[in-house]
Chain A
């Protein structure tokens, strides 16, 4: 389990439209590359080895499974911001996109999102 790395993924994928599009186009390929090339890089390029995505986290990210990422404790603020443009692609208005997000996490309350 690495809630930190789940958040790092969502944080980084939301930095530019190119990253979000690439993720949405090919989630499995994008996540595989990200884990290899980006996940463990800090600051000016040094690498760390202290975190690894759990199988459940990887599956949730690859599946763009909002409910599961939320349940696993993804930072709600970061999850919402990163997922909104992807949901909006499938809905014609903000209220509809909002409803889709709220339906996805319905009944889950506030999972522990500390890292």
Chain B
């Protein structure tokens, strides 16, 4: 039986790569805070001693479009290419290659399907910043094989919070049903955020009350409360792209009996940044 090492929740703020590419003497206090949090999460992930990672992200209308929009999709490839043309252009990100594990991915998919979550799959998946940016924070060596899972954050309708929580629980059971491995999960998402709408790039967080309440619920270990609070209407009120928070609801199902060891809405211009971790009892 496989062991779940830790669940690490980080942002996928796409401008980070460009900001830290500048000399550190030029970093803003916001960039420094992001680097510090990223380093803390990198250490937590390393301490969990994983031999593979499940990375939960969300394709931002890069590979997926409304002709064929999966709610949940698992990538099965020996390696993955990351970063799309318009991310290079807009965010200054660099293309990368990430190792995969086809056998592990296939086995995980079977276990997920057995438990009633009908994931789609892809044998030709390209990864956007929702997977690459988190890895740049917590495993910048890109040396561990990953199984990427993409959730729909781009097109209405999306699954309700109760289903996200349930899928998280199914994923936990499915991971633990795999043969002997040590697997940790990296989950990424946004807090309140607007993209392409009238409230984007505000001087402060888009909806601070939303960011604080979801973080309070996560710190309190209240998955049901989080799922109930995060209706599509409430998330839309917090910004037209706030649905990208949904992966953290999955994380609340995935965490099982792991206590929350860090929960923070790091406030910065435009959008707060989500930093969460869940680790086995006894880990600080």
Contact = CB atoms under 8 A, between A and B. Distances in A.
Q: What is the predominant secondary structure among interface residues of chain B facing chain A?
A: loop
Interface string B183-225: 0000000000011111011000000000000000000000000
B224 to A, nearest CB: 27
A102 B198 contact: yes
Interface residues of B, number: 23
Contacts of A105: 197-198
Contacts of B241: 76-77
A84 B156 contact: no
B61 A75 contact: yes
A110 B240 contact: yes
A85 B89 contact: yes
Contacts of A43: 67
Q: What is the predominant secondary structure among interface residues of chain A facing chain B?
A: helix
B154 interface: yes
Interface string B55-93: 000001100011100000000000000000110011000
Contacts of B197: 76, 105, 110
B196 A77 contact: yes
A115 B196 contact: no
A57 interface: no
A81 B90 contact: yes
A100 B20 CA distance: 27
Contact of B61 (A11, A102, A108, A114): A11
Interface of B: 60-61, 65-67, 85-86, 89-90, 154-157, 194-198, 200-201, 236, 240-241
